[in-house]
Amino acid sequence: MLHVSMIGCGAIGAGVLELLKSDPEVVFDLVIVPENALDNAGATVRRLAPEAKVGLGLNGTRPDLLVECAGHRAIEEHIIPALESGIACMVVSVGALSEPGLAERLEQAAQRGGTQVQLLSGAIGAIDALAAASIGGLDSVVYTGRKPAGAWKDTPAERDFDLDALTEATVIFEGSAREAARLYPKNANVAATLSLAGLGLDRTQVRLLADPDATENVHHVEAHGAFGGFELTMRGKPLAANPKTSALTVFSVVRALNNRAHALSI
């Protein structure tokens, strides 16, 4: 039986609780949220994981695993201290690691605590193949993200393009994964995950497209190296509770927990 504490109870956290509420091998003991979210989180937790407590932090408790589903601030506030105290962690908000030095800080905290932090694949696939290919040598990794034009509102693309007037797919950004993460932080998770598995943030190339005809978020990855080459295209459906979040992100957390808790792992 795996005893889990989770940070965050928004769309991703609630989705994880929903899918695992009948799994006897995964037990949620604590859900950590900010003070202003205690009431809403409490109602969700009582419905989906009635044995779990809701609180502001670990407060001395030591779960088997601490899972982050809450964003950058949670990594600084909760994940790094937990790793330093020897608690294994999983991180969903991989895009936060595009901040210079944060990935290294996570690794060093885990080393000091004698434990491990796992970065989850989230909305993208083939991370296992890309990470394996990087061992033999990668020459290039190109990620293309295509979203409906309206999905790029409240980003730098809205300043540079009339998104409502687009009549065809338009490249709104082309550059390194590090620069993409800086300019489009809310869209950084996939590019950052690919970068950390492969060539790094500065050598992974990113193209972002606004497509007025698109109805889905489309992720395309093309990689070449000593292993040969592969192309992957994924058409992600959004999470019903939050259209800005891929449903696959929730499923990736559940899969990772299943692999920790169950006798057979894949």
Asked about 219 being catalytic, the answer comes back as: yes
pTM reported for the whole predicted model? 0.91
* pLDDT tier for residue 2 given thresholds of 50, 70 and 90: very high
Binding residues for NAD(+): 123, 189
* From the candidate CATH numbers 3.40.50.620, 3.40.50.720, 3.30.930.10, 3.20.20.210, the one assigned to the domain spanning 2-119: 3.40.50.720
Q: Are 193 and 127 in contact (CB under 8 A)?
A: yes
Q: Name the average pLDDT for the chain.
A: 94
Q: Does 18 have pLDDT greater than 70?
A: yes
CATH code at 127-243: 3.30.360.10
Average pLDDT estimate for 9-29: 95
What pLDDT shows up at residue 244? Answer: 67
Written as six digits, the tokens of 216 are 């889905």
- Pairing type for strands 26-32 and 53-55 reads parallel
Average pLDDT estimate for 207-230: 95
Domain boundaries, the chain: 2-119, 127-243
Q: Which of 72, 78, 219, 220 does the annotation list as catalytic?
A: 219
* pLDDT tier for residue 243 given thresholds of 50, 70 and 90: low
| b/e 56-87 (16+ beta carbons within 10 angstroms → b) | eebeeeebbbbbbbbbbebbebbbbebbbeeb
Q: Does 263 have pLDDT greater than 70?
A: yes
What pLDDT shows up at residue 67? Answer: 98
pLDDT digits (tens, 9 = 90+) for 179-201: 998 899 888 889 999 999 999 99
* pLDDT tier for residue 72 given thresholds of 50, 70 and 90: confident
* pLDDT tier for residue 232 given thresholds of 50, 70 and 90: very high
